[in-house]
Amino acid sequence: MIQNKMETVLVSGGAGFIGSHTCEKLIQLGYRVLCIDNLNDYYDPRFKQQNLAKLKKSKSFSFYKADICNRSEMGKLFSKNRIDRIIHLAARAGVRPSIEDPGLYAKVNISGTINLLEEARKNSIKYFVFGSSSSVYGNCREVPFSEDMQLDRPISPYAATKKAGELICYAYHHLYNINISCLRFFTVYGPRGRPDMAPYKFLSRIAEGIPIDMYGDGSTSRDYTYVADIVDGIIASMERLDGYQIFNLGNSNPITLSEFIAVIESVTGKQAVIKREKMQPGDVDTTYSDITKAARMLGYRPKVQFREGISMMYDWLKNHDKR
């Protein structure tokens, strides 16, 4: 465990959903936080601006609007700041958009990751956390998904770039002895959630009586994981980095799409208006995390059950809409 909590942690993508929660927790624990984000328009940038407004109230927080794909910009940033550890969460997210623009996803998720690893190498930074995704498992039939599965059949460019990121991280660990943890996140939700993801869209639309699109027959399932539990796993992996490791961070309790909608109906007190659609290319049938390794090595134990988490997200969403 780290004894000196005055270390500086760089969080890429720190203005986003998971990133802003991670920055907030690091500040609470006594770390200095250097956040970088390019504030792109993948979704309404005002979401990130609101996240930043809260974080900027802390004297331990610094923000740089910067693009991880700009190698020169990254070089200048690292030369001007003493950085002890890196939590790399910046990425182009989303399965379906990656099918439409795979080149952009390769640029950001692969080249951008290499740029940060290069700065870690050049600046002798020995601790690096990489935000991966459960999408790397594709349509694996064996469940729950464990970290030692052989994964060479991604079903979307997004998944392929995340697996490539893990492999590149291993190469830098092998060549330069950088301690790296790759964290496979399983469908993260909660307050400040991304507006393009199903929890936000379904909560807001069902509450307002707006129709929702249901892809497939409702039997697909996701291992929804509350953001505070994910952040606990991120911090634990950063503080216990040793060698090269891959960890699943999930809830280990898949929820079917039909169950998901029913819980939201119960929480909002509204009945969903459903438009049934065909399954979309790149979407997986199920995600289901085996978190045995994370529990053993990180002490990771998710605390928030799905209904409780959705209720807390709905409370936030009602206040968020008022703002």
> Which pLDDT band holds residue 321 (cuts at 50, 70, 90)?
low
Give the residue numbers annotated as catalytic, written as ranges: 158
CB 241 within 8 A of CB 181: yes
CB 289 within 8 A of CB 186: yes
pLDDT computed for residue 296 by the predictor: 97
Average pLDDT over residues 207-220: 92
Token pair 């609007």 in the structure block, residue: 65
Report the phi/psi class of residue 262: left, alpha or beta, with left for phi > 0 and alpha for psi in -120 to 50. alpha
* pTM as predicted: 0.95
pLDDT computed for residue 279 by the predictor: 82
CB 153 within 8 A of CB 138: yes
Domain positions in the chain = 8-190+227-250+289-303
Residue 323 has pLDDT above 80, yes or no: no
Cis peptide before 144 (omega within 30 of 0): yes
252-278 pLDDT tens trace: 999 999 999 999 999 999 999 999 988
pLDDT computed for residue 285 by the predictor: 87
The answer to whether the Cα torsion of 137, 139, 145, 149 is positive or negative is negative
pLDDT computed for residue 1 by the predictor: 43
105-116 pLDDT tens trace: 999 999 999 999
pLDDT computed for residue 4 by the predictor: 53
10-69 pLDDT tens trace: 999 999 999 999 999 999 999 999 999 999 999 999 999 999 999 999 999 999 999 999
> Which pLDDT band holds residue 5 (cuts at 50, 70, 90)?
low
Kindly report the average pLDDT of the chain as a whole number.
95
**Assigned token pair, 148:** 């030692």
Average pLDDT over residues 210-228: 94
Percent of the chain with pLDDT over 90: 91
Amino acid at 254: P
Residue 104 has pLDDT above 90, yes or no: yes
CATH of 8-190+227-250+289-303, one of 3.40.50.11540, 3.40.50.11260, 3.40.50.720, 3.30.9.40: 3.40.50.720
> Which pLDDT band holds residue 2 (cuts at 50, 70, 90)?
very low
